[in-house]
C-alpha cells in the first residue's frame, strides 16, 4: 500500500470513529454509552455515476426491513407501528428475537435503538448509512456504527465482540453481494 493510500485509509478510519462519536453525542447518550463499534465498506463505482450508484445501493440495503436480505443471521423482519413509533422485530436464524425502534431516517441513512434483545448490550443506538466518500470521488461507503454499554452482568469485551461480529457478518455479506473492485473493508 502506497503512502497516499495508507494516509487515506487512516483518514477514513478516523472519520468513521468521529462519526460514531458524533452519533453518541447527537443521540444524547455520550455520557451513558461507553463502547463504540463501527464497520465501513468502501465500494468503487463509476465516478460519473456516484449518486446514481449510491441511490441504487440504498434502494437495496436501506429499507427498514431490508436487513433480512443482506444480513446472514436474520431469518425474518416484521415491521410494526405503536402510535407514531416504528419498530422492527428481527427473528434470527437461531430463533432469537431483537426488537428495534426507528429513531430517525435520512435520505440514505437511519438511526435506531434496541428495545429488547438477547444481546449482551444496553443503551444501544446505531446508524446505518450509504454515503459518498469524502476523499475518493469514485467510492461510496456503507457505514454501520453504534454506541452501547455492556448489559448488566456482562463484560465490555463480550459486548464489543458480539456487536463487532454482527457488524462484520453484515458488511461482509454486503461486500460479497454488491462489491465490485472494492478495497478491504475498514474496521
Contacts of 15 (CB under 8 A, 6+ apart): 134
- What is the per-residue pLDDT for 172? 97
Contacts of 5 (CB under 8 A, 6+ apart): none
The answer to the question of residue 120 being in a domain is yes
Verdict on whether the full-model pTM lies above 0.85: no
- The whole-angstrom separation of Cα 103 and Cα 87 is 9
**Structural domain containing residue 75:** 3-178
Task: Please list the pLDDT of the chain residue by residue as tens digits (187 residues).
Answer: 444 444 444 444 444 444 444 444 444 444 457 999 999 999 988 888 889 999 999 999 999 999 999 999 999 999 999 999 999 999 999 999 999 999 999 999 999 999 999 999 999 999 999 998 888 778 999 999 999 999 999 999 999 999 999 999 999 999 999 885 444 444 4
Cell of 90: 428481527
- What is the per-residue pLDDT for 33? 73
Looking at the 3D structure of the chain, how many domains does it have? 1
- Which residue has cell 454509552? 33
The answer to the question of residue 185 being in a domain is no
Cell of 118: 438477547
CATH number of the domain where residue 77 is located = 3.30.530.20
- For residue 67, the 8-state DSSP code is H
- What is the per-residue pLDDT for 179? 81
Q: Find, among 35, 41, 33, the residue nearest to 16 by Cα.
A: 41
The answer to the question of residue 129 being in a domain is yes
How far are the Cα atoms of 79, 93, 168 from residue 72, in angstroms, in the given order?
A: 19, 8, 11
- What is the per-residue pLDDT for 67? 98
Amino acid at each position: 500500500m502506497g503512502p497516499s493510500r495508507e494516509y487515506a485509509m487512516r483518514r477514513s478510519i478516523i472519520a468513521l470513529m468521529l462519526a460514531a462519536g458524533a452519533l453518541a453525542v447527537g443521540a444524547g447518550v455520550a455520557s451513558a454509552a461507553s463502547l463504540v463499534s463501527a464497520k465501513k465498506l468502501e465500494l468503487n463505482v463509476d465516478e460519473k455515476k456516484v449518486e446514481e450508484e449510491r441511490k441504487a445501493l440504498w434502494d437495496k440495503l436501506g429499507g427498514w426491513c431490508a436487513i433480512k436480505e443482506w444480513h446472514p443471521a436474520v431469518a425474518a423482519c416484521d415491521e410494526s407501528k405503536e402510535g407514531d413509533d416504528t419498530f422492527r422485530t428481527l427473528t434470527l436464524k437461531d430463533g432469537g428475537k431483537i426488537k428495534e425502534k426507528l429513531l430517525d431516517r435520512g435520505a440514505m441513512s437511519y438511526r435506531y435503538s434496541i428495545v429488547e434483545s438477547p444481546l449482551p448490550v444496553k443503551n444501544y443506538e446505531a446508524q446505518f448509512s450509504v454515503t459518498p466518500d469524502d476523499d475518493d470521488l469514485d467510492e461510496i461507503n456503507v457505514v454501520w456504527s453504534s454506541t452501547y454499554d455492556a448489559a448488566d452482568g456482562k463484560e465490555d469485551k463480550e459486548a464489543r465482540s458480539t456487536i463487532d461480529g454482527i457488524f462484520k457478518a453484515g458488511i461482509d455479506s454486503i461486500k460479497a453481494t454488491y462489491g465490485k473492485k472494492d478495497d478491504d473493508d475498514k474496521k
